[in-house]
Amino acid sequence: MAVRLAVDGMDVVMLDRAEPTLPLAEIARAGRRGVWVEIDLADTDEVAAAVRRGEEAVGRPADVVVSNVGAYPMARFEDITVEAWRALMRLNVEPFVPLLQAVLPGMVERGWGRVVAMASNTFYNGAPGFPHYVATKGAIIGLVRALASEYGPHGVTVNAIAPGLVRTPGTLAGPHVEAGIFEATVDQQPIKRTLTPDDVVGAMAFLVSDDAAMVTGQCIAVDGGLVML
């Protein structure tokens, strides 16, 4: 996603714990500036300062924000402690709040902004075995809708993308392989293959473009047709 934003003409700031070496190199090849700001987004007190450092590094305020942070532990509902529930909410939902509070005033002042948050199609199909993860993604979708209503009059659109199960290093290292979730998911999809990150990028690029000027408060499912909204 970061590389696509650069290809589409944007300088890109990436907030992450680990340096995204390959994206930084590809952004440079696209002729744009890429900046990495080291931060653990679970430390929400540091998010606003990290945004400011990124904006200073590229020399302009943020016009586009894509939020893609989260974990997806597998657990039965009765086994989830209150502490584990709160910890996942802190990681999957709370960073979105100071992130947007840091950038939305500037977007309002300039009369233009794009916000895209990664949700999940599990909010629509339930996904047994991931109850606290599904709850966090429902919270993101609800916040997107509320913010779309609040900031639409100021030229700011706020949308979400609900991917299906995407083949990434993270999902391949998680419970999905052993549990056979990849195969079971493809069996239920009209399009019979596993999603890759490239499948999600096009929806993101559309939502941050001028072509999506009248699209806000929406959640677009990118999941091979598994969920039809």
Q: Tens digit of pLDDT for each residue in 104-129?
A: 999 999 999 999 999 999 999 988 88
Structure confidence at residue 83 as a pLDDT band (50, 70, 90): very high
Pick 60 or 179 by higher pLDDT. Answer: 60
Rounded CA-CA distance 208/5 in Å is 9
Look at residue 175 and tell me whether its pLDDT is greater than 80.
no
**What is the reported pLDDT for 187?**
93
Residue-level pLDDT at 173: 80
Confidence of residue 192 (pLDDT cuts 50, 70, 90): very high
pLDDT at 81 over 90: yes
Give 171-200 as a DSSP string: HHHSTTTTTTHHHHHHHHSSS-S-B-HHHH
The phi and psi torsions of 42 (rounded to 5 degrees) equal -70, -20
Mean pLDDT of 87-109: 95
Instruction: Determine the length of the chain.
Output: 229
Check residue 166 and report its DSSP letter: B
Quick: pLDDT tens for 200-216. 999 999 999 999 999 99
Percent of the chain beyond pLDDT 70? 100
Long-range contacts of 49-56 (CB under 8 A, 24+ apart): 50/15, 51/13, 51/15, 51/99, 51/102, 51/103, 52/102, 54/13, 54/15, 55/13
User: Which CATH superfamily groups domain 62-222?
Assistant: NAD(P)-binding Rossmann-like Domain (3.40.50.720)
Q: What is the mean pLDDT of the chain?
A: 94
Q: What is the per-residue pLDDT across 42-52, written as a single tens digit (0 to 9) for each?
A: 888 999 999 99
What pLDDT was estimated at residue 59? 95
Spell out the domain ranges in the chain: 1-60, 62-222
Burial 44-58 (b: 16+ CB within 10 A, else e): bebbeebbebbbeeb
| Secondary structure tally for the chain: helices H, strands E | 10, 6
Q: Is the pLDDT of residue 176 over 80?
A: no
* For residues 77-82, average pLDDT: 95
Which of 94-103, 121-130, 171-180 has the weakest average pLDDT? 171-180
- Per-residue pLDDT, averaged over 2-13, amounts to 97
Residue-level pLDDT at 177: 77
Using alpha carbons only, how large is the chain's radius of gyration in Å?
Answer: 17
pLDDT digits (tens, 9 = 90+) for 8-48: 999 999 999 999 999 999 999 999 999 999 999 888 899 99
Catalytic residue numbers, as ranges = 133
